[in-house]
């Protein structure tokens, strides 16, 4: 089909929480583009006509299929790991469905539509049929047939007894066009077999091998389409196939019937005008001045309104004050996690207004099918989508407004008009009904609304609870109405989500009581009491400094300096990866005592005074590849070898670290302007407004910093500040096009709403790992998806390990880690817990024997898992995390037999101090610039610089119910956080990392972009992040990430196709800035630390990019224009610019320079009203969508959009251009000051 349906790459485990009877595992539609990796063999021809409209109602008029020549022509699909979604064991149910147009086959032949196993691959038994849907020809008719094998027991039982075949009684004639064939079956339950031929169920018999309750063969052999047994001619399909679906579960009859809808022959010729019997909806009792909206889902059809008694029960009802629904509300599951709508939804909005008696014209807009009732009569209708979404649709003309100046219908929305006769009572009862979404397209409302023509006939006014026809729907009024409607929906979402998630509160209250009890029983270190130090963080830090200073008094300054600056760096750079805090080959080199010991070689690494006897020197200079150290990479430089040689010769002394009080003197706490800017950026991701910054400076209360921190942490923008960080750490990688390249679902919405609700961190992690809600539309289930990945749960195991436990498992995917103790077994064991079933290492994730043969020396990597070895769900990190499986963990669970929940519980249990420590260290690092443990994602062999502080923070975190905000508050209120950023902690070894001061941090990409928009008073005005703004596709194919409001909401624009018609030029302009500063559009793997090294593009994009043009342009009606117009003096204007962009007043020199520049022409800066030339308004352009993007016009339109984006918005016409240029240049120089991108 031309509408692209994709293979769900994630394994079925994702679906375990979905309540459908059957879940789609794969569907192949054989359009021009497909995601599934089908490899063609032999005569396979794509793009032949498939079942098509108008005869087949569920297909496009240009639907394509694939044709097979027979004689072994087939497709292979090999991503079929055992235990994957294609494996069905006893008790599992399968449904197979396909459309076939078979040319011919011989009587008695069984030709394959699709089958797993029996491919002829010598790695498997010949008769390993896991399952197959076939056509069996008998007496001239093609019958639907199902075949599977059970493992062969012994030869004595007779030939073929292990094959089990079911065949339908009914059949069809080959060459008679398209037919739908399907079967469903639950293994182990022979009576469960069900077949379908076209729309009807088909009876049949087990005609070979008989019924069986035995388990079927399950292995990881490939799936073949259209042939079998190595391509034997007699099993090969000749003809066309389309729309093959594989489900887990049994698809019920009514659903099956609904998937095979055929127009009757007469209807094909002349679409009959069937008079529908319509009954008006029951009138609701409307609260005065209100509009009532109800919504239900699960309609049987998207192109017909159901009879009243067949309407699904309303899922939600809300009151609002205008008949405008700009988007769907969110649907939440019973934990408050986003879910997809199931089937088409029905929305009804109802209002009652008063109009003068007589005839009135109304209009309504809807995305798909809709009807408008006035006083019980339908007066206007819209239809559902028609035509194909294949890219070749003509670009529709731009809609005309219904009257001059009225906001026109949005692209993709349908508009209908109708007249209503209003009686003498003036009553006008309006009901709008709309069907939203369908099997093949996302449910969206478009700009669903109803308007009434104004009495002068010249405009339209929105139907509102308090109807006021003078509120004409010009763009300004429309914007105001739409933003009110959005606010109402956002409140509704919050309320629905709180209500749903509160069902889990009791459980979490219990968990948190257990957490508090645990901390009481296992108290951590108490903060040392120091004079004049109030905050525990400062106590720990100052105490450690004091101790170190005292200890170093005994050390020889000269010797210590040489050792720590010259000798130790050579050892740490070259040796410590294996011989530091870790022990490889029995050797550690992190202390003199260890270095003097003999390792596995039997020789001491260091013999003081005798370099020639020291094994270390021998190894680092050895010419023998098998002996030399370090084993890979560059050799140690000769001058460094010389330093080590001299050090050993001189006795290999290892002096105590020399710390002078001057070195560890703490800088002062920053001034108010720096603090307020730092606090705002860290807590909500944008700087303070001018007024906020001034108010803070003016505040004289002693506790104003703490109060500010509390206020900011309660701000609704708090989650925005943390989103990008967790997206990176958790590799959130959604695609607006079909998933590929390790794409996940957009679980950003799960994270965002969790933080918006300030969910406890243990709860957020648990709910993330439980993979709930919609995989494609914002549930935590999206985290479980990993497209183009042969072992999605292993990929997720790696993320979970580094994100929450500081355990690096990247190498363990294919072999044991060379520089870590982690084993392949560890990764696949947690992956199995996550997957809720045993896992094997996929064929593609291992290292072959030949790799080791080629190696000259013993390899650093080891493969310890045998091919095909099954790993059971098991917790491998008891030692590392200090928490083992057991009854105390079960007590923290809702379903103790669920291995996925067990994994979540083991990670988030209070006993798991590693988890709490890793999270507090992450927060610390983000706010201070260096971790107490570095790197934050990989703790093995990396000691904390302040173990007691870390333990205390972790304990605080657990004792405060894993409240992340409390943690952030604890850090931000310390003196440490508030000191001048002169720290050099990041690059230092733990023993030298004193946290005298925080690091100088560069703002991250999101902070820079958000700050630019916030400070200039502009909104991020870019396209909706989608190729499907008119909702012609399903969310699994083309989805929408919405219109970004903040920088974290962007994603890769996925124009791998390099088509100008698919570019989103305004979004790209913002992404150019984000990417220059290290943001990832595509997060194929997790990242804790972004690249922060300066590069030429960073200042470049601030100086020259399209976005920089938008920011610095004093555009029409912008805040910057108003600021200039209202400014009392050049001085005041310069002050405002500095306060806005840098949160501080200008320094003396700044003020002098810029006041001088802006004073010139200041008094004449405003153009007299009668001389203002309104800027040219370019014509509206159509939106280009996936449906139209392959037409030549689509490219032309997009190129014009790019041109306009680059040009930016027109300048404010009220300002004198010459003066305005200078004003813009001042702003430019402020945003390009390094001060703008560095945290104060």
Least Cβ distance, residue 1195 to other proteins (angstroms): 4
Structure-token pair, residue 1148: 């003396």
Q: Is 71 in the site for other proteins (CB under 8 A)?
A: no
Helix or strand or coil: residue 1177?
coil
Cβ distance to other proteins smaller for residue 472 or 796: 796
CA distances from 1047 to 428, 725, 1012 (A): 45, 12, 11
Q: Is 32 in the site for other proteins (CB under 8 A)?
A: yes
Alpha helices in 806-891 (DSSP H): 824-835, 849-854, 878-881, 887-890
**Among the listed residues 504, 1068, 1136, 1187, the single contact to other proteins using CB under 8 A:** 1068
> How many other C-beta atoms lie within 10 A of the C-beta of residue 259?
18
**Among the listed residues 320, 880, 1040, 1061, the single contact to other proteins using CB under 8 A:** 1061
Whole-angstrom Cα distance, residue 1039 to residue 270? 36
Show contacts with other proteins in window 82-141 (CB under 8 A). Answer: 123
Least Cβ distance, residue 946 to other proteins (angstroms): 23
Q: Is 354 in the site for other proteins (CB under 8 A)?
A: no
Q: Is 1120 in the site for other proteins (CB under 8 A)?
A: no
Helices 913-928, 792-805: crossing angle, 10 deg rounding: 70
Least Cβ distance, residue 1092 to other proteins (angstroms): 8
> How many other C-beta atoms lie within 10 A of the C-beta of residue 652?
22
With CB under 8 A, what is the number of residues at the site for other proteins?
A: 128
Greatest pairwise CA separation for the chain in angstroms: 113
Q: Is 445 in the site for other proteins (CB under 8 A)?
A: no
Cβ distance to other proteins smaller for residue 569 or 818: 818
Q: Is 1056 in the site for other proteins (CB under 8 A)?
A: yes
Show contacts with other proteins in window 848-877 (CB under 8 A). Answer: 848-851, 853-854
Q: Is 285 in the site for other proteins (CB under 8 A)?
A: no
Cβ distance to other proteins smaller for residue 922 or 1087: 1087
Write each residue from 367 to 396 as x if it is in contact with other proteins (CB under 8 A), else as -, in one continuous string. Answer: ------------------------xx----
Show contacts with other proteins in window 1024-1053 (CB under 8 A). Answer: 1052-1053
Cβ contacts of 835 within 8 Å, gap of 6 or more: 11, 13, 83, 793, 873, 900
Least Cβ distance, residue 1112 to other proteins (angstroms): 9
Q: Is 620 in the site for other proteins (CB under 8 A)?
A: no
Whole-angstrom Cα distance, residue 797 to residue 417? 56
Write each residue from 767 to 806 as x if it is in contact with other proteins (CB under 8 A), else as -, in one continuous string. Answer: -------------------x-xxxx---x--x--------
Alpha helices in 237-328 (DSSP H): 253-258, 265-269
Burial of 980 (0-12, 13-18, 19+ CB in 10 A): middle
Q: Is 1199 in the site for other proteins (CB under 8 A)?
A: yes
Show contacts with other proteins in window 664-683 (CB under 8 A). Answer: 674
Show contacts with other proteins in window 1201-1230 (CB under 8 A). Answer: 1202, 1206-1208, 1221-1222, 1225-1226, 1228-1230
Q: Is 1099 in the site for other proteins (CB under 8 A)?
A: yes
Least Cβ distance, residue 34 to other proteins (angstroms): 4
Least Cβ distance, residue 1143 to other proteins (angstroms): 11
Cβ distance to other proteins smaller for residue 966 or 1000: 1000
Whole-angstrom Cα distance, residue 672 to residue 693? 9
Least Cβ distance, residue 388 to other proteins (angstroms): 11
Span near other proteins by CB under 8 A; candidates 32-40, 180-188, 750-758, 767-775: 32-40
Q: Is 46 in the site for other proteins (CB under 8 A)?
A: yes
3-state secondary structure 292-316: EEEEEECCCCCCCCCCHHHCCCCCE
> How many other C-beta atoms lie within 10 A of the C-beta of residue 888?
15
Beta bridge partners of residue 452, listed in sequence order:
362, 461
Cβ contacts of 194 within 8 Å, gap of 6 or more: 183, 184, 185, 201, 250, 253
Q: Is 336 in the site for other proteins (CB under 8 A)?
A: no
**Among the listed residues 1108, 1115, 1185, 1187, the single contact to other proteins using CB under 8 A:** 1108
Cα 482 vs. chain centroid, distance in angstroms?
27
Q: Is 1153 in the site for other proteins (CB under 8 A)?
A: yes
Length of the chain, please? 1240
790, 81 Cβ separation under 8 angstroms: yes
Show contacts with other proteins in window 703-762 (CB under 8 A). Answer: 737-738, 740-742
Q: Going by DSSP bridges, is the β-strand pair 189-197/200-202 parallel, antiparallel, or unpaired?
A: antiparallel
**Among the listed residues 54, 287, 358, 1081, the single contact to other proteins using CB under 8 A:** 1081
Q: Is 1191 in the site for other proteins (CB under 8 A)?
A: yes
Span near other proteins by CB under 8 A; candidates 30-38, 142-150, 413-421, 600-608: 30-38
Helix or strand or coil: residue 888?
helix
Q: Is 1177 in the site for other proteins (CB under 8 A)?
A: no
Q: Is 1147 in the site for other proteins (CB under 8 A)?
A: yes
Closest CA to 81 of 148, 146, 114, 130: 130
**Among the listed residues 201, 896, 1060, 1213, the single contact to other proteins using CB under 8 A:** 1060
Whole-angstrom Cα distance, residue 125 to residue 137? 26
**Among the listed residues 16, 17, 21, 40, the single contact to other proteins using CB under 8 A:** 40
Least Cβ distance, residue 360 to other proteins (angstroms): 44
Span near other proteins by CB under 8 A; candidates 228-236, 316-324, 537-545, 1098-1106: 1098-1106
Helix or strand or coil: residue 145?
strand
Least Cβ distance, residue 1152 to other proteins (angstroms): 9
Q: Going by DSSP bridges, is the β-strand pair 291-297/223-225 parallel, antiparallel, or unpaired?
A: unpaired
Nearest-10 Cα torsion for 143, 149, 155, 161: -40
Structure-token pair, residue 920: 């507090």
Strand order across the 204-208 sheet: 39-41, 74-77, 223-225, 110-116, 131-138, 141-149, 163-172, 204-208
Write each residue from 625 to 664 as x if it is in contact with other proteins (CB under 8 A), else as -, in one continuous string. Answer: -------x--------------------------------
Span near other proteins by CB under 8 A; candidates 190-198, 288-296, 301-309, 1194-1202: 1194-1202
* Cα first-last separation, the chain: 56
Closest CA to 27 of 135, 109, 114, 151: 114
DSSP state, residue 601: T
Q: Is 1084 in the site for other proteins (CB under 8 A)?
A: yes
Cβ distance to other proteins smaller for residue 547 or 1092: 1092
Whole-angstrom Cα distance, residue 375 to residue 352? 9
Write each residue from 966 to 995 as x if it is in contact with other proteins (CB under 8 A), else as -, in one continuous string. Answer: --------------xxx-------------
Cβ distance to other proteins smaller for residue 342 or 1085: 1085
Least Cβ distance, residue 225 to other proteins (angstroms): 13
Closest CA to 336 of 176, 116, 493: 493
Whole-angstrom Cα distance, residue 1051 to residue 747? 12
**Among the listed residues 253, 870, 888, 1072, the single contact to other proteins using CB under 8 A:** 1072
Q: Going by DSSP bridges, is the β-strand pair 448-453/324-325 parallel, antiparallel, or unpaired?
A: antiparallel
Least Cβ distance, residue 63 to other proteins (angstroms): 10
Least Cβ distance, residue 244 to other proteins (angstroms): 14
Q: Is 414 in the site for other proteins (CB under 8 A)?
A: no
Least Cβ distance, residue 656 to other proteins (angstroms): 28
262, 56 Cβ separation under 8 angstroms: yes
DSSP string, 890-913: HTT-SSTT-HHHHHHHHHHSTT-H
């Amino acid at each position: 089909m031309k509408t692209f349906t994709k293979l769900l790459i994630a394994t079925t485990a994702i679906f375990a929480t979905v309540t459908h009877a059957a879940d789609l595992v794969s569907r192949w539609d054989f359009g021009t583009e497909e995601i599934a990796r089908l490899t063609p063999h032999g005569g396979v021809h794509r793009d032949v006509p498939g079942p098509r409209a108008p005869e087949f109602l569920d297909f496009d008029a240009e639907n394509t299929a694939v044709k097979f020549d027979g004689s072994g022509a087939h497709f292979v699909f090999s991503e079929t790991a055992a235990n994957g979604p294609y494996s069905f064991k006893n008790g599992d149910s399968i449904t197979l469905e396909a459309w076939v147009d078979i040319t011919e086959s011989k009587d008695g032949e069984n030709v394959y539509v699709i089958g797993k196993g029996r491919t002829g691959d010598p790695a498997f038994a010949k008769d390993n049929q896991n399952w197959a849907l076939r056509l069996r020809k008998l007496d001239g008719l093609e019958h639907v047939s199902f075949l599977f094998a059970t493992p062969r027991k012994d030869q004595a039982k007779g030939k073929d007894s292990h094959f089990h075949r079911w065949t339908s009684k009914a059949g069809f004639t080959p060459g008679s066009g398209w037919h739908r064939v399907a079967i469903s079956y639950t293994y182990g339950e022979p009576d469960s077999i069900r077949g379908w031929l076209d729309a009807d169920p088909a009876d049949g018999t087990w005609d070979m091998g008989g019924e069986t309750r035995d388990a079927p063969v399950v292995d990881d052999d490939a799936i073949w389409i259209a042939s079998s047994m190595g391509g034997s001619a007699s099993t090969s399909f000749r003809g066309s196939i389309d729309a093959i679906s594989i489900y887990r579960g049994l698809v019920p009859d009514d659903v099956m019937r609904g998937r095979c809808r055929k127009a009757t022959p007469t209807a094909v010729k002349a679409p009959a005008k069937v008079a529908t019997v319509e009954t008006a909806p029951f009138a609701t009792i409307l609260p005065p001045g209100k509009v009532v909206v109800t919504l239900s889902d699960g309609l049987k059809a998207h192109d017909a309104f159901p009879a009243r008694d067949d309407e699904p029960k309303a899922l939600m009802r809300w009151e609002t004050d205008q008949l405008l629904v700009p988007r769907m509300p969110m649907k939440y599951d019973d934990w408050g996690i986003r879910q997809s709508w199931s089937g088409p939804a029905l929305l009804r909005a109802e209002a009652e207004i008063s109009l003068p008696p007589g005839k009135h014209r109304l209009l309504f807009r809807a995305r798909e099918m809709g009807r408008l009732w006035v006083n019980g009569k339908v007066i206007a209708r819209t239809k559902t989508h028609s035509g194909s979404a294949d890219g070749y649709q003509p670009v529709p003309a731009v809609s005309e407004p219904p009257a001059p100046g009225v906001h026109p219908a949005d692209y993709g929305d349908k508009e209908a008009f109708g007249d209503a006769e209003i009686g003498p009572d003036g009553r006008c009862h309006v009901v709008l009904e709309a069907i939203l979404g369908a099997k093949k397209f996302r449910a969206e409302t478009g700009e669903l609304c109803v308007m009434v023509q104004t009495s002068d006939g010249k405009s339209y006014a929105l139907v509102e609870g308090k109807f006021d026809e003078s509120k004409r729907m010009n763009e300004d009024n429309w914007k105001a109405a739409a933003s009110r409607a959005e606010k109402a929906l956002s409140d509704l979402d919050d309320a629905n989500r709180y209500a749903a998630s509160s069902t889990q509160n009791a459980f979490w209250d219990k968990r948190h009581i257990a957490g508090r009890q645990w901390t009481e029983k296992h108290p951590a270190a108490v903060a040392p009491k120091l004079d004049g130090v109030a905050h525990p963080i400062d106590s720990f830090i100052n105490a450690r400094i004091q101790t170190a200073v005292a200890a170093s008094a005994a050390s020889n300054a000269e010797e210590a300096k040489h050792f720590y600056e010259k000798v130790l760096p050579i050892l740490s750079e070259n040796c410590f990866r294996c011989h530091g805090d870790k022990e490889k080959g029995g050797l550690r080199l992190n202390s003199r005592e260890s270095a003097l010991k003999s390792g596995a070689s039997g020789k001491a690494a260091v013999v003081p005074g005798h370099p020639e006897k020291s094994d270390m020197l021998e190894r680092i200079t050895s010419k023998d590849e098998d002996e030399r150290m370090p084993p890979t990479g560059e050799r140690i430089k000769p001058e460094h070898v010389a330093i080590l040689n001299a050090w050993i010769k001189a006795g290999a002394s290892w002096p105590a670290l020399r710390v002078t009080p001057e070195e560890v003197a703490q800088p002062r706490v920053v001034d108010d302007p720096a603090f307020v800017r730092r606090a705002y950026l860290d807590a909500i991701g944008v700087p303070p407004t001018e007024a906020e910054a001034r108010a803070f400076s003016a505040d004289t209360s002693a506790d104003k910093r703490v109060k500010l921190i509390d206020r900011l942490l309660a701000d609704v923008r708090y989650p925005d500040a943390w989103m990008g960080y967790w997206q990176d750490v958790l590799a959130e990688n959604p695609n607006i096009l079909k998933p590929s390249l390790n794409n996940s679902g957009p679980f950003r919405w799960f994270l965002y709403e969790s933080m918006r609700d300030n969910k406890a961190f243990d709860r957020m992690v648990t709910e993330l790992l439980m993979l709930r809600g919609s995989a494609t539309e914002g549930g935590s289930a999206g985290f479980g998806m990993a497209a183009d990945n042969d072992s999605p749960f292993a990929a997720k195991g790696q993320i979970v390990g580094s994100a929450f436990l500081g355990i690096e498992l990247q190498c363990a995917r294919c072999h044991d880690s060379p520089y870590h103790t982690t084993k392949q077994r560890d990764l696949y064991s947690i992956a199995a817990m996550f997957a809720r079933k045993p896992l094997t290492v996929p064929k593609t994730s291992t290292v072959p024997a030949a790799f080791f043969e080629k190696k000259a020396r013993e390899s650093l990597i080891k493969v310890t898992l045998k091919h095909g070895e099954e790993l059971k769900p098991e917790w491998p990190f008891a030692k590392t995390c200090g928490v083992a499986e057991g009854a105390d963990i079960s007590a923290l669970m809702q379903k103790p037999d669920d291995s996925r929940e067990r994994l979540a519980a083991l990670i988030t249990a209070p006993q798991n101090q590693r988890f709490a420590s890793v999270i507090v260290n992450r927060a610390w690092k983000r706010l201070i610039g260096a971790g107490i443990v570095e790197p934050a994602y990989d703790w093995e062999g990396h000691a904390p610089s302040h173990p007691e502080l870390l333990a205390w923070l972790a304990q605080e975190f657990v004792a405060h119910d894993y409240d992340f905000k409390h943690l952030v508050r604890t850090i931000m209120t310390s003196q440490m956080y508030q000191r001048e950023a002169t720290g050099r902690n990041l690059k230092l070894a733990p023993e030298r990392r004193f946290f005298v001061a925080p690091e100088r941090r560069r703002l991250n990409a999101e902070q820079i972009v958000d700050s630019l928009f916030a400070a200039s008073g502009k909104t991020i005005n870019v396209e909706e992040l989608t190729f499907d703004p008119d909702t012609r596709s399903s969310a699994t194919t083309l989805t929408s990430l919405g219109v970004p409001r903040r920088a974290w909401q962007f994603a890769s624009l996925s124009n791998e196709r390099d088509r100008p018609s698919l570019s989103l030029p305004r979004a790209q302009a913002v992404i150019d800035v984000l990417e220059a500063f290290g943001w990832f559009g595509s997060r194929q793997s997790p990242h804790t630390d972004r690249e922060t090294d300066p590069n030429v593009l960073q200042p470049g994009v601030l100086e020259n990019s399209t976005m920089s043009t938008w920011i610095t342009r004093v555009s029409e009606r912008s805040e910057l224009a108003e600021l200039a117009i209202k400014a009392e003096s050049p001085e005041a204007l310069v002050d405002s610019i500095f306060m806005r962009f840098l949160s501080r007043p200008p320094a003396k020199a700044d003020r002098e320079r810029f006041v001088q520049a802006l004073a010139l022409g200041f008094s004449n800066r405003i153009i007299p009203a009668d001389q203002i030339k309104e800027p040219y308004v370019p014509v509206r352009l159509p939106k280009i969508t996936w449906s139209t993007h392959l037409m030549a016009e689509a490219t032309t339109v997009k190129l014009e959009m790019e041109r306009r984006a680059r040009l930016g918005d027109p300048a404010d016409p009220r300002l004198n251009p010459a003066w305005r240029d200078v004003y813009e240049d001042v702003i430019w120089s402020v945003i390009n000051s390094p001060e703008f991108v560095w945290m104060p």
